Amino acid sequence: MICVTTGRSEPAHDVGLAYALAAELGAVYLRRRCRTNRRLIADAGLDGLVVCGDDGVVWHDPQGGTFRFHPNMAVTRVRSRRRADPPDPLVRAARLEPGDRVLDGTLGLGADAIVASDAVGPAGVVVGLEASPVVAALVRWGLATWEHRCSPAMRRIRVVQGDHREHLLERSWLARAGWDVILFDPMFSEPVAGSSGIAGLRALACDEPVSAETIGLARALVSKAVVLKTRRGDPHVVALGPDWWTGGRGRVVYAGFGPAGAPGGGDDGLG
Ligand SMILES: C[S@@+](CC[C@H](N)C(=O)[O-])C[C@H]1O[C@@H](n2cnc3c(N)ncnc32)[C@H](O)[C@@H]1O
């Protein structure tokens, strides 16, 4: 069972937020009554506790792990992208332009979605799909409230909780919406060095790889590209036969797939 509570002072706005998040997560609102997080989790035998308090909205698990929204590297990437020094590899791999409609099939902390949202601008659309209900709820709240120069790009992202495989297979409203680009950034089996930003996500995230079937379904829906973030030389992704490769930071690369039936494009020669 998951519960949602407030900080110690239980102010009315946090109580209201806690009730709203409890309803969204199908969880139970629990009054704190001065108990510690550890005591609340132990007494009620909880699988997790969401706390709405002075630190924002934070997930706590029984092992002491926590998860909260933060824009990770997105702020630095947006700044560099605007100065074009160097061009952001995701923007380059996906050939993003103002006005594009982008579906991020693996939202996570939303860093890639924020960069994409800044690149496509107010005329574009970015929807982020996230399988984990807790991650989706906390990231939706973070994108709606985080104050920064990137806030307009954050506010334009629409977060949908769900599994991209089901949406694509069942051709849900989301799959029928019409996309220029679909992005996938699945969990790597081992953490990427220097990527401590998503450490708190690991325990909550869906860690299935992106299948050939998913790529095929996505290619049938895009006008420009399907882009899959991966590690250089990952045999699973090489076997998917991308149309182009774009280099990222360190060992990260982006595999690009053109729309179904379209000829392949030029790349960084990484394949
Ligand atoms: C590596 S993280 C993505 C990080 C993200 N690109 C960013 O910039 O913050 C992968 C996320 O995708 C989610 N995910 C994995 N498989 C999914 C699926 N089939 N449908 C929706 N979300 C999925 C995971 O739960 C996790 O939150």
How many whole angstroms separate alpha carbon 193 and alpha carbon 214? 27
Q: Of the candidates 21, 44, 67, which is a domain's last residue?
A: 67
Q: Is 121 helix (H, G, I), strand (E, B) or coil?
A: coil
Q: Checking DSSP bridges between strand 125-130 and strand 48-53, what pairing results, if any? A: unpaired
Rounded distance from Cα 139 to ligand 1 centre (Å): 12
Q: Which of 130, 161, 165 to probe ligand 1 with, by most ligand atoms within 8 A of CB?
A: 130
Question: Are residues 79 and 54 part of one domain?
Answer: no
Q: What is the CATH number of the domain that holds 138?
A: 3.40.50.150
Question: Are residues 101 and 231 part of one domain?
Answer: yes
What are 24-52's pLDDT values in tens digits?
999 999 999 999 999 999 999 999 999 99
Q: Of the candidates 16, 44, 67, which is a domain's last residue?
A: 67
Rounded distance from Cα 140 to ligand 1 centre (Å): 14
Q: Which residue is associated with the tokens 């605007």?
A: 82
Q: Which of 114, 187, 190, 234 to probe ligand 1 with, by most ligand atoms within 8 A of CB?
A: 187
109 has a pLDDT exceeding 70: yes
Domain carrying residue 23: 2-67
Measured from the CB, is residue 205 less than 6 Å from ligand 1?
yes
pLDDT value of position 136? 98
Structure tokens at 188: 């790597």
Sign of the Cα torsion 143, 187, 170, 161 reads negative
Q: What is the CATH number of the domain that holds 57?
A: 3.40.50.10480
- In this structure, what DSSP letter does residue 253 have? E
Backbone angles phi, psi at 127, to 5 degrees: -115, 135
Question: Are residues 8 and 117 part of one domain?
Answer: no
Q: What's the average model confidence in pLDDT over 86-94?
A: 90
Sequence length of the chain is: 271
Residue nearest to atom 1 of ligand 1 (CA): 187
pLDDT value of position 17? 97
Measured from the CB, is residue 198 less than 6 Å from ligand 1?
yes
| Mean pLDDT for the chain overall | 92
What are 122-160's pLDDT values in tens digits?
999 999 999 999 999 999 999 999 998 889 999 999 999
Q: Which of 204, 188, 202, 183 is nearest to 111 (CA)?
A: 183
- pLDDT bin (cut points 50, 70, 90) of residue 21 is very high
Measured from the CB, is residue 110 less than 6 Å from ligand 1?
yes
How many whole angstroms separate alpha carbon 32 and alpha carbon 10? 8
Q: Of the candidates 39, 67, 95, which is a domain's last residue?
A: 67
Question: Are residues 195 and 152 part of one domain?
Answer: yes
Work out the number of other CB atoms within 10 angstroms of the CB of residue 173.
9
Residue nearest to atom 4 of ligand 1 (CA): 108
- pLDDT bin (cut points 50, 70, 90) of residue 112 is very high
Look at 115 and 192; give whichever has higher pLDDT: 115
Global model pTM greater than 0.85: yes
Give the CA distances from residue 185 to residues 33, 104, 105, 230, 268, in Å, rounded to whole numbers and listed in that order: 41, 8, 8, 7, 19
- pLDDT bin (cut points 50, 70, 90) of residue 196 is low
Give the CA distances from residue 193 to residues 126, 249, 252, in Å, rounded to whole numbers and listed in that order: 28, 11, 10
Residue nearest to atom 25 of ligand 1 (CA): 205
Measured from the CB, is residue 106 less than 6 Å from ligand 1?
yes
